[in-house]
């Protein structure tokens, strides 16, 4: 059936077993975390998140000082920013 030498046949069987066992398969790296487990954000993404945090802080302060009606405009902009963040990240 096969005209392969015995050594070559054994090598192919060994290679097939290693592939089937997952010996040569490496898991893909986590896109959200670095090697030490922290999230790796680009400087643009970091500034965007800081801007959203500032909007949240301003909205909460306006809600406590004045009313929720005054802060609703800031919260609306924050909501738009969060939606855009879902598309950016």
Give CA angle at 50 (68, 72), nearest 5°.
15
Place of tokens 């302060």: 61
Q: Considering the domain boundaries, does residue 75 fall inside one?
A: yes
Q: Considering the domain boundaries, does residue 67 fall inside one?
A: yes
Successive 10-residue mean pLDDT values, the chain, 89 residues: 74 72 59 58 86 95 92 94 86
Helix axis angle, 68-88 relative to 43-65, nearest 10°? 160
Domain membership of residue 54 as a residue range: 6-30+41-88
Give the chain's domain count.
1
Q: Considering the domain boundaries, does residue 36 fall inside one?
A: no
């Amino acid at each position: 059936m096969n005209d392969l030498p015995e050594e070559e046949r054994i090598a192919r069987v060994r290679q097939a077993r290693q592939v089937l066992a997952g010996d040569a398969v490496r898991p893909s790296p986590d896109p959200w975390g670095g090697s030490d487990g922290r999230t790796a954000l680009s400087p643009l993404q970091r500034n965007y998140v800081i801007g959203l945090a500032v909007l949240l802080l301003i909205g909460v302060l306006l809600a406590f000082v004045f009313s929720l009606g005054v802060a609703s405009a800031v919260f609306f902009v924050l909501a738009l920013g969060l939606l855009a963040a879902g598309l950016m990240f």
